[in-house]
């Protein structure tokens, strides 16, 4: 799902995002994938998954609790995607599901996945994925988002 600029969630300040990341113990994971036929050369897509807990690590009772967590994860994704030149991206839609991971003690989390790929395919640019991952990782770290699982600072 591509987000149009006018449909993006309200922008929060960096300080608000940093605080929210701590309160919701936001983590991230990455994978690389190719959506081309075997034997064909194509751009590798970089898939980043952000995971955030509902406040207190509890299941919300009714309402829009998880969708609000997803919307803030969207703000984080859009914040770090802003400075990635030569790339296009898409955000997966809200799946209204709770995700449970052993490394997080089976605490309910909301997941947002976004995919980044080169805006134009250039077979000679083999470093796109690594440069993009480095930029995104730096942006996520600046907000306090931790890789794989949450560790208290």
Span 65-87, pLDDT tens digits: 788 889 999 999 999 998 777 78
Say if 153 falls within a structural domain: no
151: in domain: no
Alpha carbons within 13 A on the beta-carbon side of 8: 16
Q: Which domain holds residue 77?
A: 5-35+42-146
Q: Count the alpha carbons within 13 Å of 81 in the hemisphere toward its beta carbon.
A: 25
Number of domains in the chain: 1
Is pLDDT at 57 greater than 80 in this prediction? no
pTM flag (> 0.75): yes
Average pLDDT over residues 99-117: 85
pLDDT at 97 over 60: yes
Q: What pLDDT is recorded for position 18?
A: 94
Q: How far apart are alpha carbons 118 and 130 in whole angstroms? A: 12
The gap from C-alpha 41 to its chain's centroid, in whole angstroms, comes to 26
* Residue 99 is assigned to a structural domain of this protein: yes
Looking at mean pLDDT, say which of 40-49, 81-90, 137-146 comes out highest: 137-146
Does the residue 119 lie in any domain? yes
């Amino acid at each position: 799902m591509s987000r149009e600029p006018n449909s993006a969630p309200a922008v929060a300040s960096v300080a608000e995002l940093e605080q929210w990341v701590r309160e919701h113990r936001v983590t991230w994971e990455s994978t690389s994938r190719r959506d081309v036929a075997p034997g064909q050369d194509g751009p590798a897509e970089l898939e980043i998954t952000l995971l955030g807990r509902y406040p207190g690590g509890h299941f919300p009772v009714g309402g829009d609790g998880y969708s609000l967590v997803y919307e803030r994860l969207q703000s984080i994704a859009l914040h770090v995607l802003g400075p990635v030149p030569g790339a296009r991206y898409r955000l997966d839609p809200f799946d209204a599901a709770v995700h449970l991971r052993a490394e997080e003690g089976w605490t309910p989390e909301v997941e947002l996945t976004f995919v980044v790929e080169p805006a134009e395919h250039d077979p000679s640019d083999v470093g796109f994925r690594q440069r993009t991952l480095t930029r995104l990782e730096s942006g996520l770290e600046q907000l306090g988002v931790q890789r794989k699982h949450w560790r208290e600072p």
